[in-house]
Amino acid sequence: MEDSNNMKKTTVLMVGAGPSALAASVYTTREHIETVLVEKGVIGGLAAITDKIDNYPGFAEGIAGLELADQLQKQAERFGAKIELGEVKSIEKIGEDILVKTTDGDYSAEAVLLATGSDYKKLSVPGEKEFYGRGVHYCATCDGAFYKDKKIIVVGGGNSAAQESLFLTRFSNDITVLVRSEWRASDVLVEEVENHDAITVEMGWQVSEIVGEDNKVARVVATHLETDKTKEFAADGVFVFVGLKPNTDFIKNSKIELDDYGFIKTDSNLQTTIPGVFASGDVRSGATMQIASAVGEGATAALKLRMYLENKHRAK
């Protein structure tokens, strides 16, 4: 619905369409609360580009990330959730409503859920930006198939680095994982990586540069943290998984309070410092970065949103 100023109106606007927002929208739309989701990347978020999800309850044999995302989307749309592609630029409370400016026009909503998730961090070393797509990548399921029988370096020591290394063994049997200090991945994954014939693990290496030749990546330069020795690792592809950063750039100038790492602070009702604006999933301060948790928080946020709307209408 649009008013005379071309402002689109909705009861609830959700920023993001990952598992948390999709789950929340199932709850709101089943209660006949008009809900619009605005997604700037891929519907399903990072879950959609995860090869296989083994720890989401209800799927005994695991489920492909894309399949889970697809099912979540279909379930949300079945109840009437409307998913728009666009990027949210700002959020501001104007009177009783919340003004959300997007690349696809402006919305006025009675309540907002921020569920923008997180994205992979960059290494911030010379060569990384220059060779992005020419050997440097941040998504194995998206780009790994381009490196069939090629030499691959994986940078990182968390669950993503371990899981994506294992995925890359489908294409290459020459994978080296550079872990800066110590593994932060789960023991199950670490054991699988370390016992895999196609993977070599090098501990204690901090990448300092990515060097290219002929317009593509040729090697990775790293320094050993204990010995200070520098070494060059030949590489056709470099896959970087060095942690997650919250997608909160669009609210940095708003009144929504963030923690020291840029995650959104919420109270016990998952409400932010702006009344009527809630947050759930990976973008929330204290999030556990698990799909199951994000979905659970989405359901909780939806119930709190409903309560907020009921109280608001009752007070009128």
* Residue ranges in contact with other proteins by CB under 8 A: 40-44, 48-49, 65-66, 69, 85-87, 103-104, 132-135, 137, 141-143, 145-146, 215-216
Closer Cβ to other proteins, 32 or 170, answer by number: 170
d(CA 99, CA 96): 10
Residues 6+ apart with CB under 8 A from 99: 90, 91, 92, 93, 106, 107, 108
d(CA 189, CA 242): 16
Closer Cβ to other proteins, 212 or 296, answer by number: 212
Q: How far is the CB of 273 from other proteins (least distance, A)?
A: 30
d(CA 113, CA 25): 10
Closer Cβ to other proteins, 145 or 225, answer by number: 145
Q: Structure tokens of 243?
A: 């942690």
Closer Cβ to other proteins, 38 or 270, answer by number: 38
Q: How far is the CB of 103 from other proteins (least distance, A)?
A: 7
Q: How far is the CB of 193 from other proteins (least distance, A)?
A: 22
d(CA 185, CA 101): 38
6 forms beta bridges with none
d(CA 132, CA 272): 35
Q: How far is the CB of 293 from other proteins (least distance, A)?
A: 21
- The rounded Cα 64 to chain-centroid distance in angstroms is 16
Closer Cβ to other proteins, 118 or 266, answer by number: 118
Q: How far is the CB of 49 from other proteins (least distance, A)?
A: 5
Pairing of strands 118-120, 244-246: antiparallel
